[in-house]
Amino acid sequence: MTNITVCQLEKALNYFDHPPELTASEKDVMRQRKMKKHDVAIILVHWFNAITWIFMLITGAALIVSGLYKFAPDFFINIVRGMFETPGNLIEFHIWLGVIWIVVFMAYTIFGYRKYLRKQSLKEIPINKSKDIFDKLKAVQCVLFGNPALCLDKKDFLWLKIRLLGILGLSDEPLPPQGSFNAGQKLYGLLVALMTPVIMLTGVIMAFHIGPLWLIQWSIPIHFTAVGLVVSGLLIHVYMGAVFPEEKPAFFSMITGNVSELFLYKHHFEYWKERIVKQCEWRKKTDPDVTLTDILPNSLAEKVLKKVEELGDLGKESEKPKEIQPEKFWNPYFAGFMLGLLFLFTYFVYGRGLGASSFLSRTGTYLWNLVAPEYVHSHPYWSRYFHNGHTPLGNFMIFEVLGVIIGAYWSSKKARRAKIEIHKGPGISNKVRIFMAFAGGILMGLGARIARGCTSGQGLTGGITLSVGAWLFVFVAIGIGYFSAYIFRRYWL
Amino acid sequence: MIAPIFKQISVSIEFQYFLAILIGIAFGYILERAGFGNARKIAAEFYFDDFTMIKVFFTTLIVGSAGLLFLNWFGWLDLDKIFIPRTYIWGQFVGGIVLGAGFGVGGYCPGTSMVSAASGKLDGMAFVAGAFVGTMSFGDIFYDWLKDIYMGGAMGRITLPEFLGLNPGVVVFLVILMALGTFWIAEKIENGKWDPYKKFRKEPRKIIER
């Protein structure tokens, strides 16, 4: 076995879709071996969260006395209110516990996010390599959430389908193997991740009466709905974790941080595979003579060895057909010449130039107008888009930018450049790039408003018409661009 | 003077919007072909390895400004009726600083980020989202604080020839000279060995061609 490479082991294991049966003694050995599943920070946050939720749910339920929303029985409300003497105390408790909860989570998020940005060694899933829509979806999720173990993939959707049919008694297919979290957990995680900010925000709005009256009023049902959604999942979560006998090890892993290897093997086979490959990798480093039977149970090791022989030499990658390269970019002088002609044409016909950034502020104002018309109409800045009976969307710029999107897509499609991918410097991860792009966008959007236009609307349009301010803007922006590029050089070079 | 056409004759608003879409398509097409859907190509400008952005920018400027002048001399285009961005010295100065800082952080400008997003680049999409947040924050959060800067140094519809007291032709000529000088320097640096960022590079210096 010593001649088996890690890569061979990984590939051979991938041929096993379901955990093969083991003998009783092998199971015993596996049950004895512990594997770490959660670290201390996660365990602490979990129990802090659990205790807070219990208190918040009890006090929250007792707070709801209005006929429309009330659901807790009177005796319960009386007991809880009695414990706090006055309803005022009860509300205070609910609010301040909520505030503590928010503060702890903020701290956790901020520190977690720093770790998330720094953790560049994290396995990145290439976005553009795969044609499969599920892989793309997963890759996008991974960029957003950072942890591949939390993203829903193709197997998860299959798991959900089979699980659902199984519950309805329509299917008895075995469930596909799962990673460190199963699809149900991931789905619930997604729901909680989306609802927690909603609960926090509406809670703060209600507690401190922030914003206009309608906002406070709407916060009430939204707060209840969000809590309701989380609680509906929480029931299953608690039942599975604390009551359901098969999932007992998962509950204890939330206290000790460890689970038995057998549990992972049975319930999170995909995760177990990952761990085994990793284990093999560094056992080999310290002890080159390690055999497969040291790592795997005998019967399984035999099966894996057979598979490896069957598959032959797995070390060699099969050669992939070379992809056709995208077309070359235009000569910059030619592109500039065409762009100049386009500007001349626009001036000749419309008497105006081209732009881009006011598309965003106009769309934003349009959206504001849907939610709070009196706010935008009386706002010293946004109200300009309504002067003389104009509307934010009824403008040259809106249609021009829609055209830009069509034209850019058309061109990139034709030149074989249209694909989901991320442009970034060689030294940074996808997540850092997305974060930086978002931050740069904020600066750019703000700067474009202060200067009354961006590189197109102010720089090119004003430059061509020899506007004094536009020329000042161009030189300042390019100069600061060089300065800012120097500061952020490690992100690009 | 027959132009600006839409200011001389009345044209239905639907047709104006329709033509705006066509112009936008050409705009997006040219920007994408120039390579502006790629943040690295734009950023390379600031690290002295690929001057595409400045070449396209200045070529557009000289074709556009010289073209406007000629159209006016031929008696076709009335320059008094075209839109010229108003000058607010402080607004454009501070705006230029904030926007220039965004270049180094994000790599796009609002127009090119839309090109990038349209061709499926996730960083372009994140940039557009950020630009939306930044744009809206100006009106919703910062307007009261930045109002004085935004309105500061108002000089109205003033052009360089008026400001410097020169003939427009002379100014355009100077602009062309400056652009040609910039092109010459850009070509020199692109093909030369001078590289101030040499010790920071993890990859060899090159022009992104595709």
CB contact under 8 A, B33 and A437: no
pLDDT in the model for residue A130: 56
- Residues of chain B in contact with residue A473, where contact means CB-CB under 8 angstroms, are 92-93, 95-96
CB contact under 8 A, B155 and A453: no
pLDDT exceeds cutoff 70 at A4: no
Most confident of A2-16, A421-435, A471-485: A471-485
Residue to mutate among A352, A467, A483, A489, with most B CBs inside 10 A, is: A467
Residue B199 DSSP label: G
Using an 8 Å Cβ cutoff, are B95 and A449 in contact? yes
Q: State the pLDDT confidence band at B99, using cuts at 50, 70 and 90.
A: very high
Please name the residue of chain A whose CA is at the shortest distance from the CA of residue B16. Answer: A396
pLDDT in the model for residue A362: 93
Most confident of A66-70, A205-209, A268-272: A205-209
Please name the residue of chain B whose CA is at the shortest distance from the CA of residue A139. Answer: B122
CB contact under 8 A, A488 and B202: no
CB contact under 8 A, B201 and A493: yes
pLDDT in the model for residue A121: 41
pLDDT tens sequence across A216-263 = 888 888 999 999 999 988 888 888 777 777 777 777 888 887 888 888
pLDDT exceeds cutoff 90 at A185: no
| Mean pLDDT taken over chain A | 82
A287-291, A464-468, B199-203, range with the lowest pLDDT: A287-291
- Residues of chain B in contact with residue A410, where contact means CB-CB under 8 angstroms, are 25, 28-29
From A344, A361, A433, residue closest to B135, measured CB to CB: A361
Residue with the bigger pLDDT between B53 and A125: it is: B53
CA atoms of A319 and A312, how far apart (whole Å) = 16
Domain ranges of chain A: 6-36+257-311, 420-493
pLDDT in the model for residue A123: 47
A119-128, A399-408, A421-430, B43-52, range with the lowest pLDDT: A119-128
pLDDT exceeds cutoff 80 at A350: yes
pLDDT exceeds cutoff 50 at A33: yes
SS3 label, residue A20: coil
**Interface contacts A/B by beta carbons within 8 Å:** 550
Closest Cα of chain B to A391: distance in Å? 13
Closest Cα of chain A to B115: distance in Å? 5
- Residues of chain A in contact with residue B100, where contact means CB-CB under 8 angstroms, are 447, 476-481, 483-484
Cβ-proximal residues to B53 (8 Å cutoff; 6+ apart), any chain: B36, B41, B42, B45
From B68, B209, B210, residue closest to A465, measured CB to CB: B68
Cα A185 to the center of its chain, rounded Å: 15
SS3 label, residue A267: helix
CA atoms of A461 and A451, how far apart (whole Å) = 13
- Residues of chain B in contact with residue A365, where contact means CB-CB under 8 angstroms, are 139
Interior CA angle at A344 toward A338 and A348, to 5°? Answer: 145
pLDDT in the model for residue A73: 82
A416 to chain B, any CB pair closer than 8 A? The answer is: no
CB contact under 8 A, A423 and B22: no
Using alpha carbons, select from A238, A410, A486, A472 the residue that is nearest to residue B196.
A486
When pLDDT is averaged across residues A11-38 and rounded to a whole number, the result is 77
pLDDT in the model for residue A129: 55
- Residues of chain A in contact with residue B44, where contact means CB-CB under 8 angstroms, are 492
| Mean pLDDT taken over chain B | 91
CB contact under 8 A, A352 and B83: yes
Using an 8 Å Cβ cutoff, are B161 and B171 in contact? yes
Closest Cα of chain B to A247: distance in Å? 39
Closest Cα of chain A to B194: distance in Å? 16
Q: Using alpha carbons only, how large is chain A's radius of gyration in Å?
A: 29
From B31, B106, B210, residue closest to A436, measured CB to CB: B106
pLDDT tens sequence across A48-95 = 989 999 999 988 888 887 777 777 888 888 888 888 888 888 888 999
Token pair for B14: 């639907």
Please name the residue of chain A whose CA is at the shortest distance from the CA of residue B71. Answer: A348
- Residues of chain A in contact with residue B102, where contact means CB-CB under 8 angstroms, are 440-444, 447, 484
Paired sense of beta strands B154-156 and B87-88, if any: antiparallel
Element (H, E) at A261: helix A261-267
Token pair for B111: 């127009």
Q: State the pLDDT confidence band at A445, using cuts at 50, 70 and 90.
A: very high
Restricting to A residues 328-387, those with a Cβ less than 8 Å away from any Cβ of B are: 328-330, 332-333, 335-357, 359-361, 363-365, 379-382
Q: State the pLDDT confidence band at B21, using cuts at 50, 70 and 90.
A: very high
Closest Cα of chain A to B193: distance in Å? 17
Secondary structure percentages of chain B, helix, strand, coil, to 5? 70, 5, 25
**How many angstroms separate the first and last alpha carbons of chain B?**
43
When pLDDT is averaged across residues B142-147 and rounded to a whole number, the result is 89
Maximum distance among all Cα pairs of chain B, rounded to whole angstroms: 61
CA atoms of B147 and A368, how far apart (whole Å) = 21
pLDDT in the model for residue B144: 87
Residue with the bigger pLDDT between B118 and A7: it is: B118
pLDDT in the model for residue A267: 76
A101-115, A434-448, A449-463, B186-200, range with the lowest pLDDT: A101-115
pLDDT tens sequence across A285-325 = 777 677 777 777 777 777 777 777 776 655 444 445 556 78
Neighbours of A445 (CB within 10 A): 31
Residue to mutate among B2, B18, B33, with most A CBs inside 10 A, is: B33
Q: State the pLDDT confidence band at A122, using cuts at 50, 70 and 90.
A: very low
CA atoms within a 13 Å half-sphere pointing along the CA-CB vector of A149: 13
From A407, A430, A466, residue closest to B26, measured CB to CB: A407
Q: State the pLDDT confidence band at B199, using cuts at 50, 70 and 90.
A: confident
From B30, B100, B203, residue closest to A342, measured CB to CB: B30
Paired sense of beta strands A258-260 and B87-88, if any: unpaired
From B22, B34, B109, residue closest to A330, measured CB to CB: B34
- Residues of chain B in contact with residue A129, where contact means CB-CB under 8 angstroms, are none
- Residues of chain A in contact with residue B178, where contact means CB-CB under 8 angstroms, are none
SS3 label, residue A441: helix
Q: State the pLDDT confidence band at A188, using cuts at 50, 70 and 90.
A: confident
From A351, A403, A493, residue closest to B21, measured CB to CB: A403
SS3 label, residue A34: strand
Share of chain A above pLDDT 70, in %: 87
Instruction: State the residue for tokens 């300009």.
Output: A384
Is the backbone of residue A209 left (phi > 0), alpha (psi -120 to 50) or beta?
A: left
**b/e code A147-161 from CB counts within 10 Å (16+ = b):** ebbbbbbebbeebbe
Token pair for B51: 């001057």
Residue to mutate among B9, B17, B30, with most A CBs inside 10 A, is: B30
pLDDT exceeds cutoff 50 at A281: yes
Closest Cα of chain B to A195: distance in Å? 21
**b/e code A312-351 from CB counts within 10 Å (16+ = b):** eebeeeeeeeeeeeeeebbebeebbbbbbbbbbebbbbbb
Sign for the pseudo-dihedral over CA of A370, A373, A377, A382: negative
Using an 8 Å Cβ cutoff, are A236 and A219 in contact? no
Domain ranges of chain B: 1-82+164-210, 85-158
